[in-house]
């Protein structure tokens, strides 16, 4: 979502002349998290504002920033896909607010999986815990201790990968260095706080295992291990025995109940030796590779399946769906009052202007968002196959191509080629352009054979219409030759490049930029064919 309302831009908050805060994502105990944009590297980011209650002076903010950079260097050594990267720590102009800039992960927080009346399937709970244990094993080997593991700090990405957020954040805010609150209360979340944290004792990797036990209990029971206000919770963590899971849910396997009780032991040295042991004990409850989930293993509607990584380990990424080949039904457009159409066309004009400004700064990701934001409303008002809507989609695909996002641009160009073939004919200029651009996307993605076939088909159409020396034909001929060279088919490329250079010299002159480039390519090929000696 771009920061726009009512068709006019709302200036985004910018920190460090680089990071724009676009949309608040969450409001948590340690700080608010925003979806942001990195104007330097043209990428989305997550930006966390450390709460002002935790930052009581500019000196403390500077100390926190230094401490963050120290912790971030350590955290960066956790080489695991389940640990989102942390990019930067920024003090605002007042030197009293600290922003942490991190990788933005598209996923669902584990807290969304917690439903008191519908505890998770055993395989889902085990899959989450096993993935968290894997992440912790890499962290503890550094060593980095999380200190604040809880459902809101665990995210399940769309492909089922579990991400553990905020590594090092609790360490940055630790109270043994500086009191961060008026009471000096310990940093952490009381429902998942180990006895040693409550006492202010030594933190060890087993501290994270206790929190993992709390999380796993809650996933299986649908409710926390202990409940009450913060003082009641701290007392229970110190003295109360957790209710065994099978008393709350009869279908929990006994060994899994035993593991959770082992994780929740009061003395840290009495808990499992390490995360590797925890993972081994979770293995029997994980789905087998290639298995198909049963109806009983369905999790909450709309949430990613964390068992997918175990059912399909190292599976290829999901391919983007191809546009349907069904017979086209002309789009019916309801009558729109003139003011509505005028508003839509004004919004389209503004989107193009806004995107052009962003492209001047090479802010491709944001330019794509700006164009995309008006596509749906334009399609509703003007029809999905209207000239204006297809033009918007073509511009969005072109921006993706310019920004190097060939994987997203490819299906868009293919769908556009089909749409233009329906509305303007398969030999029309926009249909040909989109087919050629789709082929170029394939070439960039390593699908050179398919790209060559498609470009040759387009060239055949262009030759039949406009001959061999139109600007479009020359561009296609050169592109095909370059791809042949990339495949090592030097002789075939040479057969194309010789007449291409002759045509370029005849039509545009010997000093034409492309004519000179082709001449240089031919010279290199001849040197290569003659073993490095000139003819």
Instruction: Give the residue numbers annotated as catalytic, written as ranges.
Output: 148
* Residue pair 260/245 in contact by the 8 Å Cβ criterion: yes
* Residue at token pair 């962003």: 358
Dig out the tokens for 251 from the structure.
């279908």
**DSSP H helical ranges for 102-227:** 122-140, 169-172, 195-199, 205-221
Integer Cα distance of 72 and 506 in angstroms: 61
Q: Quick one: which of 351, 406, 388, 400 has its CA closest to 2?
A: 351
Helix H, strand E, coil C: the string for 335-391 is CCCHHHHHHHHHHHHHHHHHHHHHHHCCCHHHHHHHHHHHHHHHHHHHCCCCHHHHH
Radius of gyration of the chain (CA): 29
Dig out the tokens for 493 from the structure.
């490329």
Which SS3 state, helix, strand or coil, does residue 37 take?
strand
Integer Cα distance of 150 and 172 in angstroms: 17
Which SS3 state, helix, strand or coil, does residue 212 take?
helix
Dig out the tokens for 497 from the structure.
């490049």
Integer Cα distance of 56 and 183 in angstroms: 13
Cβ contacts of residue 13 below 8 Å, gap of 6+? 20, 21
* Residue at token pair 């196959």: 385
The answer, yes or no, to whether the previous bond of 332 is cis (omega within 30 of 0) is no
User: Read out DSSP for 397-408?
Assistant: HHHHHHTT-HHH
* Residue pair 354/9 in contact by the 8 Å Cβ criterion: yes
Q: Quick one: which of 402, 408, 406 has its CA closest to 362?
A: 402
């Amino acid at each position: 979502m771009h920061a726009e309302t009512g068709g006019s831009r709302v200036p985004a908050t910018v920190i460090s002349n680089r990071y724009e805060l676009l949309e608040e994502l969450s409001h948590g105990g340690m700080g608010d998290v925003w979806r942001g944009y990195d104007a330097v590297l043209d990428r989305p980011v997550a930006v966390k504002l450390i709460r002002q209650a935790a930052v009581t002076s500019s000196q403390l903010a500077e100390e926190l920033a230094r401490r963050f950079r120290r912790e971030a260097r350590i955290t960066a050594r956790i080489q695991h896909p389940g640990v989102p990267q942390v990019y930067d720590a920024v003090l605002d102009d007042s030197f009293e607010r600290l922003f942490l800039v991190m990788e933005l992960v598209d996923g669902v927080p584990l807290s969304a999986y917690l439903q008191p009346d519908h505890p998770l399937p055993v395989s889902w709970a085990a899959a989450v815990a096993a993935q968290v244990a894997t992440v912790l094993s890499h962290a503890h080997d550094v060593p980095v201790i999380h200190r604040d593991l809880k459902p809101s700090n665990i995210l399940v990405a769309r492909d089922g990968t579990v991400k553990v957020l905020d590594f090092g954040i609790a360490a940055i805010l630790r109270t043994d260095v500086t009191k961060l609150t008026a009471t000096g209360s310990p940093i952490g979340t009381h429902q998942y706080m180990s006895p040693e944290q409550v006492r202010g004792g030594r933190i060890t990797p087993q501290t994270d295992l206790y929190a993992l036990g709390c999380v796993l209990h809650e996933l299986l029971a649908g409710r926390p291990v202990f409940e009450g206000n913060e003082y009641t919770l701290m007392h229970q963590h110190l003295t109360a025995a957790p209710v065994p899971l099978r008393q709350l849910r009869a279908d929990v396997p006994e060994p899994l109940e035993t593991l959770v009780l082992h994780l929740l032991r009061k003395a840290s040295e009495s808990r499992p030796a390490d995360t590797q042991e925890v993972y081994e004990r979770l293995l029997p409850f994980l789905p087998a590779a290639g298995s198909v989930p049963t109806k009983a293993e369905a999790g909450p509607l709309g949430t990613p399946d964390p068992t997918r990584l175990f059912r399909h380990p190292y599976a290829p990424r999901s391919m983007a769906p191809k546009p349907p080949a069904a017979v086209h039904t002309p789009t019916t457009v309801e009558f729109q009052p003139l003011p509505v159409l005028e508003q839509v066309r004004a919004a389209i004009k503004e989107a193009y202007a806004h995107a052009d400004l962003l492209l001047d700064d090479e802010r491709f990701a944001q330019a794509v968002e700006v164009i995309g934001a008006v596509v749906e409303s334009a399609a509703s008002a003007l029809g999905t196959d209207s000239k204006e809507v297809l033009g918007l989609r073509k511009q969005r695909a072109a921006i993706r191509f310019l920004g190097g996002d060939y994987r997203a641009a490819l299906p868009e160009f293919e769908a556009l080629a089909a749409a233009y073939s329906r509305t303007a004919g398969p030999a029309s200029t926009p249909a040909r352009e989109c087919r050629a651009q789709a082929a170029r996307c394939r070439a960039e993605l390593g699908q050179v054979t398919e790209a060559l076939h498609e470009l040759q088909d387009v060239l055949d159409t262009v030759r039949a219409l406009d001959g061999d020396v139109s600007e479009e034909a020359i561009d296609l001929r050169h592109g095909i030759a370059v791809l042949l060279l990339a495949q090592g088919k030097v002789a075939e490329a040479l057969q194309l490049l010789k007449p291409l250079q002759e045509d370029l010299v005849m039509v545009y002159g010997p000093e034409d930029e492309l004519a000179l480039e082709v001449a240089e390519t031919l010279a290199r090929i001849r040197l290569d064919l003659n073993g490095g000696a000139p003819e």
